[in-house]
């Protein structure tokens, strides 16, 4: 009997393996089948919406539009990863874009977000036409995906990176409702994302813990609320999503699934977006200045306080970037070097500047090394010349010795730039109460601050531009690009006769019309220390800033800009809500020594 039992066991295990299909090629095949089925469903819904859009009611069109979004959310993880350009055509932001390589070529947006604006507008004949055009754009993108589906080969390490990036996307854009500002379907779409992750993981063995955590996250959504404003992001992230990410990290290790080791701003080994040290400023350093050591950073710090960098020997970087004010100066606009005029813009913080893919309010420079050249030689700022400065530093023994220790060389323009840039790059802490809370210290944020976080991500819509966890326009999940936005920031605080500030921002670079008055979305980390606010320092307090947003930005003040990208709708925040929001902003101050 025992013998038969053993044979039976053996056969059932064998059968189990055959049925479950855990051999790699079967797994890839199963993933491919599911992907293709999902694409077919997406296409069917698009066809149905096309039919309905011709004659149907606004209500019917909206319902099908939401179904179409849901179908996309099932595919999002894979499509965003393998076909980022098509993903942008299907669900990119509804704003004109241009590539850095060809700034003058304007790419007009297409896809679900463009369609959303039409679907939620009055249903006139003209609008039906617009809806139909957009559906046909979406159908073209779907056809492209279907055409390429057969040749897409799923590899484990890529699937796992796609999964990781999807978790980042949920935590950032997802929770902020970035891509459904009118439909307000963000929370139910996160559930769809999680269900898709679950179905993907059915192809991977021994994933009990992962499955339990995915189901728990879905369960939380099901038992609390789908309401965009009410959903408790703080609990969802700390109790469900971050632990899920960590379970994935452990699973990947245990199962020896390789990491995609491609360099990114986030450490490729980490899955929890809020983990300590996940962001690496070195990724954005030029090849010849990565991994600066402590001597190089110390030299950079010395130079940062060196007045010999300016032509009149009176100004150092620290004259405008005061460390005790998070490297700002408490002035709306600082003075020009000769004291005759003021600078064009407000002095920004340097904390976390090393994580910005571009520098300055108009994003005109990519590398900190180049930015330093810009500042030092700027007539109004320092009016210096790096060659002359090198000569001056060579006359000072302590500099000769510091440059020798740091670089084994004499002071030179290139090493001055490198040392200063490395110092600025070292000013990355990500060590605020918010970070502590996200890392599991439940007491780190009080109830008022937590309510403020939820407002930041929900009703206030702040998180759809100031993306978690850097709170800037650095776009998740890859954190490679920096967004600029048009808010309609006024020239002064006169609310009766508000006038747009004359600074044209990014427009000055390439004269692209839609970039008039566009400014990079700055980080809100350490915002309690960096008043006054905005590129022109127009607002003295966070109350004033929140008021500006609450009114709908420039539009709410009566400033007419056809390219304002901030929604002109009033936020309807109550006095209590405004206080909560500001309490949260005040919890973004780093506990750090610099």
Q: Within a 13 Å sphere around the CA of 371, how many CA atoms are in the beta-carbon half?
A: 25
CA distances from residue 418 to 92, 325, 384, 385, 406 in whole angstroms, order as listed: 37, 24, 17, 15, 11
Q: Which stretch in 88-96, 137-145, 464-472, 586-594 sits in contact with ligand HEC by CB under 6 A?
A: 464-472
Residue among 375, 366, 388, 434 nearest 588 (CA) = 434
Nearer to ligand HEC, 253 or 379 (CB): 379
CA distances from residue 458 to 82, 227, 571 in whole angstroms, order as listed: 30, 10, 10
Alpha-carbon span 356 to 369, nearest angstrom = 13
Establish if 42 lies at the interface with ligand HEC (CB under 6 A): no
Two tokens at 275? 């983990």
Alpha-carbon span 168 to 237, nearest angstrom = 11
Nearer to ligand HEC, 80 or 381 (CB): 381
**Residue 149 and residue 39 in contact, taking contact as beta carbons nearer than 8 Å:** yes
Establish if 317 lies at the interface with ligand HEC (CB under 6 A): yes
Establish if 549 lies at the interface with ligand HEC (CB under 6 A): yes
Alpha-carbon span 222 to 116, nearest angstrom = 25
Tokens 């929001």, residue? 581
User: How many residues of this chain bind ligand HEC (CB under 6 A)?
Assistant: 51
Which residue from 545, 555, 587, 588 is in contact with ligand HEC, where contact means CB under 6 A? 545
Q: Is the peptide bond before 318 cis (omega within 30 degrees of 0)?
A: no
**Closest distance between ligand HEC and the C-beta of residue 461, in Å?**
5
**Closest distance between ligand HEC and the C-beta of residue 593, in Å?**
19
**Distance spanning both ends of the chain, measured CA to CA:** 75
Alpha-carbon span 163 to 355, nearest angstrom = 23
Alpha-carbon span 554 to 461, nearest angstrom = 16
Which residue from 77, 114, 145, 462 is in contact with ligand HEC, where contact means CB under 6 A? 462
Residue among 376, 497, 368 nearest 428 (CA) = 368
Find all residues with CB under 8 Å of 51, minimum gap 6, and list them: none
Which residue from 159, 170, 234, 353 is in contact with ligand HEC, where contact means CB under 6 A? 353
* Angle CA 465–84–227, to nearest 5: 45
Establish if 368 lies at the interface with ligand HEC (CB under 6 A): yes
**Closest distance between ligand HEC and the C-beta of residue 499, in Å?**
14
Q: Which stretch in 13-21, 116-124, 186-194, 459-467 sits in contact with ligand HEC by CB under 6 A?
A: 459-467
Q: Is the peptide bond before 532 cis (omega within 30 degrees of 0)?
A: yes
**Residue 308 and residue 392 in contact, taking contact as beta carbons nearer than 8 Å:** yes
Establish if 449 lies at the interface with ligand HEC (CB under 6 A): no
Q: Which stretch in 92-100, 177-185, 287-295, 519-527 sits in contact with ligand HEC by CB under 6 A?
A: 519-527
Nearer to ligand HEC, 33 or 230 (CB): 230
Widest Cα–Cα separation across the chain: 101
Q: What x-and-dash track marks residues 320-339 binding ligand HEC by CB under 6 A? A: xx------------x-----
Which residue from 165, 218, 376, 500 is in contact with ligand HEC, where contact means CB under 6 A? 376
Q: Which stretch in 181-189, 374-382, 425-433, 446-454 sits in contact with ligand HEC by CB under 6 A?
A: 374-382
Establish if 252 lies at the interface with ligand HEC (CB under 6 A): no
**Closest distance between ligand HEC and the C-beta of residue 379, in Å?**
11
Nearer to ligand HEC, 215 or 373 (CB): 373
Establish if 137 lies at the interface with ligand HEC (CB under 6 A): no
Two tokens at 101? 């390589």
Establish if 369 lies at the interface with ligand HEC (CB under 6 A): no
Residue among 495, 513, 470 nearest 555 (CA) = 495
Which residue from 522, 552, 554, 556 is in contact with ligand HEC, where contact means CB under 6 A? 522
Q: Which stretch in 70-78, 244-252, 388-396, 530-538 sits in contact with ligand HEC by CB under 6 A?
A: 530-538
CA distances from residue 7 to 11, 21, 22, 157, 531 in whole angstroms, order as listed: 6, 21, 21, 36, 76
Q: What x-and-dash track marks residues 381-410 binding ligand HEC by CB under 6 A? A: xx----------------------------
Establish if 474 lies at the interface with ligand HEC (CB under 6 A): no
Tokens 């090394």, residue? 369
Establish if 460 lies at the interface with ligand HEC (CB under 6 A): yes
Establish if 428 lies at the interface with ligand HEC (CB under 6 A): no
Residue among 451, 445, 439, 411 nearest 580 (CA) = 451
Contacting ligand HEC within 275-304 (CB under 6 A):
none
**Closest distance between ligand HEC and the C-beta of residue 98, in Å?**
17
- Other C-beta atoms lying within 10 Å of the C-beta of residue 178: 21
Nearer to ligand HEC, 127 or 567 (CB): 567
Establish if 94 lies at the interface with ligand HEC (CB under 6 A): no
**Closest distance between ligand HEC and the C-beta of residue 307, in Å?**
10
For ligand HEC, the binding residues (CB under 6 A) are: 309, 315, 317, 319-321, 334, 343, 345, 347-348, 350, 353, 356, 359-361, 368, 371-372, 375-376, 381-382, 420, 424, 460-462, 464-466, 485, 487, 489, 519, 521-522, 524, 527, 530, 533-535, 542, 545-546, 549, 565-566, 581
């Amino acid at each position: 009997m025992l013998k038969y039992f053993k044979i039976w066991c053996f056969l059932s295990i064998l059968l189990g393996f055959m049925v479950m299909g855990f051999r790699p090629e079967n797994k890839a095949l199963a993933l491919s089948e599911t992907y293709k089925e999902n694409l077919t469903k997406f296409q069917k819904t698009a066809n149905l919406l096309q039919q309905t859009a011709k004659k149907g009611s606004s209500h019917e069109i909206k319902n099908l539009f939401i179904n179409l979004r849901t179908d996309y959310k099932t595919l999002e993880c894979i499509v965003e990863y393998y076909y980022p350009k098509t993903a942008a055509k299907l669900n990119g932001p509804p704003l004109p874009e241009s590539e850095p390589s060809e700034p003058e070529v304007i790419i007009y947006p297409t896809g679900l977000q463009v369609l959303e604006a039409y679907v939620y507008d009055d249903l006139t004949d003209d609008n039906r036409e617009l809806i139909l055009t957009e559906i046909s754009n979406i159908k073209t993108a779907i056809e492209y995906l279907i055409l390429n589906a057969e040749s897409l080969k799923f590899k484990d390490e890529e699937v796992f990176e796609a999964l990781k990036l999807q978790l980042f996307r949920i935590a950032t854009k997802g929770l902020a409702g970035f891509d459904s500002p009118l439909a307000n379907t963000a929370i139910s779409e996160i559930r769809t994302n999680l269900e898709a992750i679950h179905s993907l993981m059915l192809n991977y063995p021994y994933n009990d813990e992962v499955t339990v955590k995915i189901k728990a996250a879905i369960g939380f959504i099901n038992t609390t609320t789908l309401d965009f404003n009410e959903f408790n992001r703080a609990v969802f992230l700390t109790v469900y999503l971050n632990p899920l990410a960590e379970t994935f990290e452990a699973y990947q290790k245990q199962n020896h699934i390789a990491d995609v080791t491609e360099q990114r701003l986030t450490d490729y080994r980490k899955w929890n977006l809020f983990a300590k040290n996940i962001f690496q400023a070195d990724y954005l350093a030029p090849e010849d200045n990565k991994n600066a050591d402590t001597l190089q950073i110390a030299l950079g710090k010395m130079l940062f306080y060196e007045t010999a960098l300016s032509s009149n020997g009176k100004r150092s970087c620290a004259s405008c970037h005061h460390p005790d004010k998070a490297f700002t100066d408490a002035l709306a606009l600082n003075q020009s070097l000769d004291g005759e005029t003021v600078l064009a813009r407000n002095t920004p913080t340097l904390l976390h500047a090393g994580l910005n893919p571009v520098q300055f309010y108009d994003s005109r420079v990519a590398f900190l090394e180049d930015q330093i050249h810009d500042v030092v030689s700027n007539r109004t700022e320092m009016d210096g010349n790096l060659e002359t400065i090198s000569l001056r530093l060579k006359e000072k023994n302590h500099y000769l010795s510091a440059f020798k220790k740091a670089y084994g060389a004499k002071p030179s323009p290139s090493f001055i730039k490198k040392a200063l840039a490395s110092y600025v790059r070292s000013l990355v802490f990500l060590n605020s109460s918010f970070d502590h809370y996200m890392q599991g210290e439940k007491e780190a944020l009080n109830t008022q601050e937590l309510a403020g976080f939820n407002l930041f991500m929900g009703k206030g819509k702040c998180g759809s531009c100031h993306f978690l966890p850097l709170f800037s326009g650095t776009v998740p999940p890859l954190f490679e690009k920096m967004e600029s936005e048009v808010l309609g920031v006024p020239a002064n605080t006169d609310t009766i006769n508000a006038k747009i500030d004359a600074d044209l921002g990014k427009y000055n670079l390439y004269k692209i019309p839609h970039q008039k008055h566009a400014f990079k979305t700055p980080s809100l980390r350490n915002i309690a220390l960096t008043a006054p606010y905005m590129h022109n320092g127009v607002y003295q307090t966070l109350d004033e800033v929140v008021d500006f947003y609450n009114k709908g930005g420039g539009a709410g003040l009566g400033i007419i800009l056809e390219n304002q990208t901030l929604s002109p709708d009033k936020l309807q925040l109550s006095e209590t809500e405004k206080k909560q929001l500001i309490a949260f902003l005040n919890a973004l101050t780093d506990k750090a020594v610099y």
